[in-house]
Every structure is written in structure tokens, then in C-alpha cells.
């Protein structure tokens, strides 16, 4: 999706507290939930994501409410907490995330974002926080048919628009590529026989095949150099970049990211 890799526009989830981020340009601004008469200043750290990328970020009913969860969300909460900030999560189409970041409508993008050279020129990228393999997903009846990458050549391949998987597909000989905004849309295309194969990031693919009968991951492995995933920050905002990297370093040293991945994977695979 990777992500590059990732449902409803403007979905918001509040989870923590920050200063000097988002569109709060004035240090005296107060959040809508704050008490303007108390003198307390509540700042927001606005995260952009595409929440159809389990276990990274996805929708789940929690205590009767539609909630965006996942280990990217857990990481974002920690970043906000370390900054004394309130976290606001905006659910957007994956291919719009970097534009939202460059425009200042979000402060950071956490959405299975691969650190490509093109992205490095456009935005600041954090240290790598996670690496995962890519997977070929097919209908169960076609598992043996598409067991190698040679067999995938010339097939109709579904990928997420603007993702690293889209770039992988472009390198496959004879590929007829269908690029869509959401992983769920790609899966639907596969289920309805409109495409033959789909390239999906490993943990995301595992989550979908666990929850949907009739889909499997084949033995075919896209040969790509995995640079892992980074957090995107507006170009020039090195202050936020440093704070994000500090939190990532702490989480890594504490072994927290692996814990978040395991918990989010279990949540994604549980009954919806």
C-alpha cells in the first residue's frame, strides 16, 4: 500500500493533546472542545490516513461506535502524547494524502507510506518504523495457477492507486492494471472476476483473506527491495520531524511497535 500505501471522507477520531501543529497557527488558539474562559490551550496534531489498510489502519465498531483503529493509529497516539497534543485522525483517499500534507490540512501522514525518492523530494520522511513483504492475492481456485511471478505476467492485476504495489505491477510484463482508491474495492474486483490477481501488502492481505472466504495468498513473491514504511511530514517542518523520530526511537527501544502490530492484527482478524 503498501501503502502507500489506503473510507469515508473526513472521518475524525480524537485521541490525545499538541502545540503548534495543524492549522492552529496562533499559539493562543483553543480547540473546539476546550474552555475558552479557562485560559487552557489545547492544540491538535492532525494525522491523515486511508483507513482501509488493516492492520495498519481500519474501521472497527468499538463500544457501539465506528472507530479508526490499527497500529499506525497506536503510533500516532504515542506521538501526540509525547507532544502533549490532541490527535485528530482524518480518513482520506490514499492518493490525496500527500496533497493534504503539502497544503497544511494535515500535519503528518501515517498510512503504510513507502519512502520513495519522489516522496523524499516532496515531503519530510521519518525514520523507518516497520517493514513488511508484498503478497499476491487470488481466488482460491487459482492458487496453483498463479503460484509464481512468471504465471502472474499478462494477468489483470488490481492495485491501490498511488501505492508501491502500483509501481510493482507496472514492472510485470504484460500486466493489465486496475488501480483503485481502496483495498476493499480491489478485493471486490477480485471476488467478481474482474481482475485475476491483486498485489497487496503482506499483513493487509493476510487480514483480508482471514475474513473473506474464497481468497488466498499464493506462493508468488514480488521481487522488490523493501525500504519499509515512514511517516510523512510537511517539507521544512523539521521540528515535528525530530519529535516524531524521537517517539519512534522510544517505541522501538521498548518493543512497542511489535506489540502494536500483533494486537492490531488480532483485532483485524476478529469477528466484525
Residue 172 — pLDDT band, cuts 50, 70, 90? very high
Whether residue 156 contacts residue 198, with contact meaning beta carbons closer than 8 Å, is answered with no
- Count the Cβ atoms, other than its own, within 10 Å of residue 32: 8
Most confident region among 17-21, 32-36, 204-208 by mean pLDDT: 204-208
CATH topology of domain 44-132+227-269: D-Maltodextrin-Binding Protein; domain 2 (3.40.190)
How much is the average pLDDT of 171-199? 95
124, pLDDT greater than 70: yes
The pLDDT assigned to 265 comes to 77
pLDDT at 189 exceeding the cut of 90 = yes
Residues 67, 127, 206, 134, Cα dihedral to 10°? 140
Task: Specify the higher pLDDT residue, 197 or 181.
Answer: 197
Whether 134-217 and 44-132+227-269 are alike in CATH topology: the answer is yes
* Domain extent listing, the chain: 44-132+227-269, 134-217
The fraction of the chain above a pLDDT of 70, given in percent, is 83
CATH number for the domain running over 134-217 = 3.40.190.10
Q: Is the pLDDT of residue 271 over 50?
A: no
Least confident residue range of 88-92, 208-212, 233-237: 208-212
Q: Which residues contact 127 (CB under 8 A, 6 or more apart)?
A: 230, 245, 248, 249
Q: Which of 193, 212, 188, 208 is nearest to 142 (CA)?
A: 193
The pLDDT value recorded for residue 152 is: 97
Q: Are 244 and 108 in contact (CB under 8 A)?
A: yes
pTM over cut 0.85? no
Q: Which pLDDT value is given to residue 27?
A: 37
> What per-residue confidence (pLDDT) applies to 254?
96
Query: Residue 173's pLDDT is what?
Result: 96
C-alpha 157/C-alpha 199 separation (Å) is 7
Least confident of 27-31, 98-102, 132-136, 215-219: 27-31
| Residue 34 clears pLDDT 90, i.e. is over it | no
What tens digit of pLDDT does each residue of 194-229 get? 999 999 988 788 888 888 899 999 999 987 776 889
Residue 270, pLDDT score: 66
In whole angstroms, what separates CA 84 from the centre of its chain?
A: 23
Amino acid at each position: 500500500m503498501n501503502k502507500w500505501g489506503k473510507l469515508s471522507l473526513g472521518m475524525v477520531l480524537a485521541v490525545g493533546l499538541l502545540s503548534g501543529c495543524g492549522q492552529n497557527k496562533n499559539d493562543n488558539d483553543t480547540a473546539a472542545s476546550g474552555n475558552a474562559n479557562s485560559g487552557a490551550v489545547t492544540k491538535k496534531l492532525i494525522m491523515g490516513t486511508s483507513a482501509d489498510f488493516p492492520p495498519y489502519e481500519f474501521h472497527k465498531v468499538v463500544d457501539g461506535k465506528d472507530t479508526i483503529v490499527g497500529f499506525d493509529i497506536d503510533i500516532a497516539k504515542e506521538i501526540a502524547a509525547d507532544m502533549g497534543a490532541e490527535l485528530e485522525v482524518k480518513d482520506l483517499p490514499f492518493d490525496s494524502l500527500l496533497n493534504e500534507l503539502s497544503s497544511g490540512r494535515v500535519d503528518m501522514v501515517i498510512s503504510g507510506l513507502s519512502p520513495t525518492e519522489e516522496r523524499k523530494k516532496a515531503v519530510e520522511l521519518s525514520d523507518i518504523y516497520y517493514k513488511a513483504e508484498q503478497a499476491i492475492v487470488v481466488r482460491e481456485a487459482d492458487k496453483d495457477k498463479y503460484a509464481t511471478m512468471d504465471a502472474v505476467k499478462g494477468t489483470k492485476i488490481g492495485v491501490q492507486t498511488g501505492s508501491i504495489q502500483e509501481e510493482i505491477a507496472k514492472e510485470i510484463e504484460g500486466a493489465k492494471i486496475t488501480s483503485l482508491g481502496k483495498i476493499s474495492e480491489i478485493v471486490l474486483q477480485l471476488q467478481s472476476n474482474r481482475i485475476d490477481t491483486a498485489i497487496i501488502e503482506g499483513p493487509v492481505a493476510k487480514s483480508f483473506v482471514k475474513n473473506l472466504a474464497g481468497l488466498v495468498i499464493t506462493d508468488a513473491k514480488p521481487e522488490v527491495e523493501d525500504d519499509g514504511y515512514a511517516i510523512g511530514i510537511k517539507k521544512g517542518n523539521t521540528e515535528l520531524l525530530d519529535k516524531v523520530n524521537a517517539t519512534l526511537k522510544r517505541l522501538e527501544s521498548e518493543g512497542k511497535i511489535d506489540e502494536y502490530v500483533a494486537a492490531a492484527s488480532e483485532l483485524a482478524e476478529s469477528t466484525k
